[in-house]
Amino acid sequence: MTKDTMIGVDLAKNVFQLHAASMTGQPQFCKKLSRQSFTRFMAEQPPAVVVMEACGSAHYWTREMIRLGHEVKLIAAQYVRPFVKRQKNDAADAEAIVIAAQRPEMRFVEPKSAEQQSRAILFRARERLVHQRTELVNALRASLYEYGHVVPQGIRQINRIAEILDAPGSDLPDLMREECQDLLEQIAEKTVRINSRTMKIKTLAAEAATARRLQTIPGVGPMTALAVEAFAPPMENFQCGRDFAAWLGLVPRQFSSGGKERLGRIFKAGQSDIRRLLIIGAMSRLNWLGSKSIPEGSWLARMAARKPRMLVAIALANKMARTIWALTTKNEDYRAPAQAVAA
């Protein structure tokens, strides 16, 4: 059935602003509803195209609107902002959402399922714990530095810090040592929680068919595979692997004008978690241990011999992103180039 009404919704915690228009842009109504009234109102409406910004709770309301029979589209907030007229308020935002959605060239955000959001929350919880542990380690190092003890960065220095605190001839005051011991206990607690979530991520990555397939790519581990499942839209949305790499921001930023092509550093747009993990995985292949697995004469070996390592890592991360797209769309496992030629 053809839907002849588009309803823009400016989401909030308690008050929702609606702006409805026809598919040709003629305004129909403008309403401000409470959270409870919004659900009842949308249940009574005939099937329409509901458009929302891809912000907090947007994916939840997407699933609710689909359950009520509506078609839902999500727009990134930065694409709506240019269509806000003069003053910014809820009514202007709702109207801008409809105007932006009716642009034929507009790009939309793919809604996430409840399972995808659960994986994303698990991933974010582990990242948050890692940041908290890093903060505690830095506080501990700073405290020791006040007494002349210089400790290098890194979680691996915890044993060295414990030795300094437990040294029998230490000149550290008792009160200071008590506080540092408390920090060590907090760090140990964070480490236990991080390890627990790491094991859960590995279990989930081993159970999912797509995640198992992605882990056959050199440099892609359980963390990267789960991040792709949690944060990336369906790979069918991209026409080719280069589009997926561009969505991740693993392409040069353009400053082109007047027919002259000027390229800068990578764009860094799109999903930052996947991009960061791909670059980390690429760097692991270029270190002393990982470089042993690089075949001599390959494009990676030739580039590593004449280019800076970080530049090579980004190029390799771009190639890994394109490989992820290929394996996901074709439902195949990774095959090394030499094996592919031999076959």
- 214 and 201 assigned to the same domain: no
Q: Confidence band (pLDDT; 50, 70, 90) for 287?
A: confident
Asked if the model's pLDDT at residue 1 lies above 50, the reply is no
Say if 108 falls within a structural domain: no
Q: How many CA atoms lie within 13 A of 59 on its CB side?
A: 14
- 53 and 167 assigned to the same domain: no
Q: Tell me the percentage of the chain whose pLDDT exceeds 70.
A: 97
- Apex CA 63: angle with CA 62 and CA 66, to 5°? 85
pLDDT the model gives residue 257: 81
Q: Which domain holds residue 128?
A: 114-207
- Apex CA 229: angle with CA 223 and CA 235, to 5°? 130
C-alpha to C-alpha distance for 129 and 90, rounded to whole angstroms: 35
Asked if the model's pLDDT at residue 305 lies above 60, the reply is yes
CATH assignment of the domain containing 28: 3.30.420.40
Q: Confidence band (pLDDT; 50, 70, 90) for 57?
A: very high
Domain boundary among the residues 207, 236, 264 is at 207
- 155 and 254 assigned to the same domain: no
Asked if the model's pLDDT at residue 126 lies above 50, the reply is yes
Q: Confidence band (pLDDT; 50, 70, 90) for 71?
A: very high
pLDDT the model gives residue 2: 59
- 163 and 258 assigned to the same domain: no
- 150 and 198 assigned to the same domain: yes
Chain segment 2-16, per-residue pLDDT in tens: 578 999 999 999 999
Say if 58 falls within a structural domain: yes
- 179 and 121 assigned to the same domain: yes
Domain boundary among the residues 187, 207, 227 is at 207
- 48 and 76 assigned to the same domain: yes
C-alpha to C-alpha distance for 157 and 148, rounded to whole angstroms: 16
Task: Work out the average pLDDT over 115-122.
Answer: 94
- 199 and 218 assigned to the same domain: no
- 234 and 328 assigned to the same domain: yes
pLDDT the model gives residue 342: 42
Q: Tell me the percentage of the chain whose pLDDT exceeds 90.
A: 72
- 306 and 223 assigned to the same domain: yes
pLDDT the model gives residue 235: 93
Asked if the model's pLDDT at residue 338 lies above 70, the reply is no
| Count of the separate structural domains present in the chain | 3
Higher-scoring residue by pLDDT: 298, 34: 34
Indicate the DSSP class of residue 73. Answer: E
Say if 109 falls within a structural domain: no
SS3 323: helix
Asked if the model's pLDDT at residue 343 lies above 70, the reply is no
**What value does the mean pLDDT of the chain take?**
90
- 118 and 217 assigned to the same domain: no
> By the 8 A CB rule, do 267 and 249 touch?
yes
Q: How far is CA 195 from CA 130, 191, 248, in A?
A: 10, 6, 28
What pTM, to 2 d.p., does this model score? 0.85
Higher-scoring residue by pLDDT: 265, 220: 220
Asked if the model's pLDDT at residue 88 lies above 50, the reply is yes
Q: What share of the chain is helix, strand, coil (3-state, %, to 5)?
A: 60, 10, 30
Chain segment 253-285, per-residue pLDDT in tens: 888 888 888 877 777 777 899 999 999 999 988
Chain segment 185-206, per-residue pLDDT in tens: 999 999 999 999 999 999 999 9
φ/ψ (deg, to 5) at 74: -115, 135
Domain boundary among the residues 207, 238, 270 is at 207
- 234 and 332 assigned to the same domain: yes
What are the strands, taking DSSP E only, across the chain?
5-10, 15-22, 27-34, 49-53, 71-75, 252-254, 263-266
Asked if the model's pLDDT at residue 145 lies above 70, the reply is yes
